[in-house]
């Protein structure tokens, strides 16, 4: 069992920084990187609604900006600090940067990547149909 407490604490703290004048639905996301650091993000909305950045986008940006690596454990929370599922787009975002032992805390308990994003599209799909050089 993964200890999600430090990630829950980080996600709940950063949710308070969300910029959500339109939905009033703050989200905080936190990930444990394979070198032990914790990266996090909050959602940032925009008057052009479709421009909104999910909390996971900020977290992955921090992952790369702070040195890269792979995410080993992840959680996201709502305003009440309750665990929520990442949206479909953000599951794809997480898949790109997930460690082989990636685990996510969901409202139904801990799960692996294949359980939350079955038959995911990835780099192997690109390679399989790559044009001849």
Span interacting with ligand THU, options 4-12, 32-40, 52-60, 66-74, rule CB under 6 A: 52-60
Pairwise CA distance, residues 72 & 25, whole Å: 26
For the chain, state the CA radius of gyration: 15
115 a catalytic residue: no
Q: List the one residue from 7, 39, 55, 60 that touches ligand THU (CB under 6 A).
A: 55
Q: List the one residue from 7, 27, 73, 117 that touches ligand THU (CB under 6 A).
A: 27
CB neighbours of 7 closer than 8 A, spacing ≥ 6? 30, 31, 32, 38, 73, 74, 75, 105
Q: What residues line the site for ligand THU (CB under 6 A)?
A: 20, 23, 25, 27, 43, 45, 52, 54-56, 76, 86-87, 90
Positions marked catalytic:
56
């Amino acid at each position: 069992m993964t200890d999600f407490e430090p990630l829950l604490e980080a996600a709940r703290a950063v949710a308070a920084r969300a910029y959500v004048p339109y939905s009033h639905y703050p989200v905080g996301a936190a990930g444990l990187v394979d070198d032990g650091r914790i990266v996090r993000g909050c959602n940032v909305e925009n008057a052009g609604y479709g421009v909104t950045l999910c909390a996971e986008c900020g977290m992955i940006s921090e992952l790369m900006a702070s040195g890269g690596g792979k995410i080993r454990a992840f959680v996201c929370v709502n305003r009440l600090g309750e665990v929520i599922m990442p949206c479909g787009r953000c599951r794809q975002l997480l898949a790109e940067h997930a460690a082989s032992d990636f685990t996510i805390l969901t409202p139904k308990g801990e799960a692996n990547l294949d359980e939350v994003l079955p038959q995911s599209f990835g780099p192997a799909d690109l390679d399989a149909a790559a044009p001849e050089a």
